[in-house]
Amino acid sequence: MSRVRVLVGTRKGAFVLTSDGKRESWDVSGPHFGGWEIYHVKASPADPNRIYASQSSGWFGQVIQRSSDGGRTWEPVGNKFAYDGPTGTHLWYDNTPHPWEFARVWHLEPSLTDPDTVYAGVEDAALFRSSDGGQNWQELPGLRTHPTASVWQPGAGGMCLHTILLDPSDPQRIYVAISAAGAFRSDDAGKTWKPINRGLRSEQIPNPTAEVGHCVHRLAMHPSRPGVLFMQKHWDVMRSDDGGESWRETSGNLPTDFGFPIDVHAHEPETIYVVPIKSDSEHYPPEGKLRVYRSRTGGNEWEALTKGLPQRDCYVNVLRDAMAVDSLDPCGVYFGTTGGQVYVSANSGDSWAPIVRDLPSVVAVEVQTLP
């Protein structure tokens, strides 16, 4: 019988949650790296025992951990993220030039085919790659040196590269997203990059339809249709059917189109999930009701999924990397909250149950479907 392994990053350590295919009874292991911020934990699609974790701390900086036995044991690997060549400047919050400074790894994206190859999205925004299992990291500098980079500006959370999507049909094609620069695409394996923000509209920047400057919170893709992208922006849920060349809004009847994560059902490429959040500054669910919204039409028509989720006095947030889907049938959907809950739905979102309720604030959730 298939199993699932949920990899949870929190503000104070990593946790591994495992269950059989019923997804009813769970084992919890952790905290791993207790006391450290774990921005992301993700496993290799090519080797489910190979897992990478981004571990960081204001005191001690960045550490990358690697497991080769499914998360039972870990070893620290390389943590040197040196920008390639002159760092240049981006804009600071006050519009003055500010030099690129490495702060942390937000997102680790293992290669689809090679367990030893992994990409890292970092703050200040840049893309790195390791081809030796995380021992050594090389920047792909074409992104940070893009002609628009000098006017990129951090969002409130820092100028982070938080999303990396690898196209399963074309190893040359990579999508990334940066807060608050926008979405970018490479068609040459990361050598050169193109902003793909046409159709986005952000009233918070001087030119609402500028080529860059949009606070993209998350991108999602179904592997069977890699040209179709879904986006949760600072405001607006968006969709592209042409690899990001153009976007159209699909917020439809959402109670608020602000939010952080967005994800796609494992078997239904037009079924997508978001968690609407009240903003600009509250960052908790509207009306104190934690609701996942599901669209079975690729956007525009949304239904609230509430069964098993708190429908009163709930004021948690769900961060951008804190939602994932498994590939069982029916598809499992998972998300973690800043209140330390990790919820699972074993029926595509129809009903939910907490796996754990009292972890540290959850930053990232990934899931592996294991034989």
Partner 1 sequence: MSVRVTLPAHLRTLARVDGEVKLDVNGEVTQRSVLDALEAAYPMLRGTIRDHETHERRAFLRFFACEEDLSNESPDARLPEAVATGAEPLLIIGAMAGG
Binding site for partner 1 (CB under 8 A): 35-36, 57-63, 76, 79-80, 82
> Considering the complex, what minimum distance in angstroms separates the CB of residue 247 from partner 1?
37
For 109, residues 6+ apart whose C-beta sits below 8 A from its C-beta are: 42, 118, 119, 120, 121, 164, 165, 166
Name which of 57 and 169 has its Cβ closer to partner 1: 57
> Considering the complex, what minimum distance in angstroms separates the CB of residue 216 from partner 1?
28
How far apart CA 253 and CA 304 sit, in angstroms, is: 10
> Considering the complex, what minimum distance in angstroms separates the CB of residue 338 from partner 1?
14
How far apart CA 39 and CA 55 sit, in angstroms, is: 7
> Considering the complex, what minimum distance in angstroms separates the CB of residue 87 from partner 1?
12
366 contacts 343 by C-beta, under 8 angstroms? no
Name which of 72 and 80 has its Cβ closer to partner 1: 80
How far apart CA 113 and CA 103 sit, in angstroms, is: 29
DSSP 256-302: ----S-EEE-SS-TT-EEE---BTTTT-B-GGG---EEEESSSSSS-
Cross-strand bridge partners of residue 42: 52
150 contacts 97 by C-beta, under 8 angstroms? yes
Name which of 61 and 97 has its Cβ closer to partner 1: 61
Name which of 36 and 152 has its Cβ closer to partner 1: 36
Name which of 139 and 249 has its Cβ closer to partner 1: 139
Q: Which two tokens stand for residue 314?
A: 């709930």
How far apart CA 129 and CA 110 sit, in angstroms, is: 9
> Considering the complex, what minimum distance in angstroms separates the CB of residue 78 from partner 1?
9
Name which of 134 and 310 has its Cβ closer to partner 1: 134
> Considering the complex, what minimum distance in angstroms separates the CB of residue 74 from partner 1?
10
Reference 224, options 175, 266, 173; nearest CA is: 266
Name which of 60 and 92 has its Cβ closer to partner 1: 60
Q: How would you class 231 by CB atoms within 10 Å of its CB: exposed for 0-12, middle for 13-18, buried for 19 or more? A: buried
Tokens 């997102």 found at: 107
> Considering the complex, what minimum distance in angstroms separates the CB of residue 34 from partner 1?
8
